[in-house]
Structures are given as structure tokens and as C-alpha cells.
Structure 1
């Protein structure tokens, strides 16, 4: 198993399936330019080899989240900065419908800030 597969394997259900679904959607949104790497023990998504977003778990909120680079440029009420300078996060709640369209819209917007 590669490190990315191991990362997801360690997550319990239903969170694992949710994150794998989001991973697939993000990668499929621009298969020629969005790639996945494993850095700092986390799966990172890159756009044209520049940081785009990553998955992580919030101990404070006890939920997984997607952290978006250039979050300081984004104006979505669903995103939380919590003192971060360049990133904003979107908490993933396994008990509600996934905001897939919102996530893909945010990914598209972040891509505009990557040069």
C-alpha cells in the first residue's frame, strides 16, 4: 500500500468513504492539472504542481476537513479561518449531505489564484 492509501485505510467508516468520494471528485474535476501527493503525512492536491488543498482532521471540532490554500482570498461563509493566514477550512459533517458543488466551486476559485 502506498502512503496515500494507508492514510485513508486508517480512517474509520463512514468518514473514509466520504473522503475517498471527495478525493475522486476533486481529482476528476481537472484530471490533466490536479495531482495528488503525500506531504507532511497528509494527502495534498496540487494544481499544476502548486498547492491547492488537503484533507486533515480537526481535534477541536472532531471532524475531518478540507483546507484550501489562498483561503484568505475566498469569501464563503462556510469556510473557517481560525487564525490561519493563507488557509481556510471546510468541515465535513458525515451526518449531512456533502456540499460537493460548493467544494468544486471553491477548488475552481482557488485555481484562479495559483500562478
Structure 2
């Protein structure tokens, strides 16, 4: 757990605050969500299956939520770029977090696993 905690603590503001807020928002969406460190980044797992992660966009230098099964979603705020499976939700570090959109997309991602569209 120390490496995961260090990941958050080693980020510079405002990214650090955004990531810590996102962690809390995501974890409170379901009791079966766990936060783990994989590939050097914080991933969130639903019943041991990775469903989203946090990272910083290389070109835009903005934080984002990566949705592992993003290909199943049509929301205009999700961007595919050169990914075949994942889509990302880029957040503006100068604005308040769009809480309703974040909670909605996290719930949709979890529901993919709950409904069996994606196998747990």
C-alpha cells in the first residue's frame, strides 16, 4: 500500500488534489471497489477486475480517468484517441470536477461487470 500512497503524495498540485479527490469519489461508488497500483499507476478494481485508472495526459498535461471498457460507451466527453478498448475522460485542472459526469461514468463502468457484459 505504501507505493500506492506514495504515488498520490508525489504528485504536484493541483494534480495531487484532483487525484486524491477522484480516489475518494471512485471508492465510494461501490463497496467492492479496491484501489491498487498496477503498471505504476492507480487502478480501481471491481471484484478484482480492473475497470478504471488515473493518469496524466502526456500532451495536454491534464489528469484523466481511463475507462478500461470504454469502447462500450458513447458519451461525447470520453475520448478514444489511438486506443482500441479504453477511452479517457480528460479533466481540466483549473475547473471544479464534474462530479455528476464522473459518478455516472463510474457507475456505468461498474454495471458492465455487474450485468455480465464484461466477465468478472
Query: What TM bracket, shorter-length normalisation?
Result: over 0.9
Give the TM-score normalised by structure 2. 0.89
Deviation at 1:22, TM superposition (A): 1.0
Q: Name structure 2 gaps, 5 residues minimum.
A: 114-118
> For the Cα contact (< 8 Å) 1:22–1:100, is it kept in 2?
no
In the alignment, structure 1 residue 69 sits paired with structure 2 residue 53: no
CA distance in 2, matches of 1:34, 1:73: 20
For residues 78-109 of structure 1, what are the alpha-carbon distances to aligned partners after superposition, in whole Å with 9 as ceiling and x for unaligned? 11000211110011211112111111111111
Q: Name structure 1 gaps, 5 residues minimum.
A: none
In the alignment, structure 1 residue 92 sits paired with structure 2 residue 101: no
Give the TM-score normalised by structure 1. 0.93
CA distance in 2, matches of 1:110, 1:76: 12
More strand by proportion, 1 or 2?
A: 1
Equivalent residue number for residue 14 of structure 1: 14
Superposition misfits of 4+ residues, deviation over 3 angstroms? none
Output the aligned Cα RMSD: 1.2
CA distance in 1, matches of 2:37, 2:43: 6
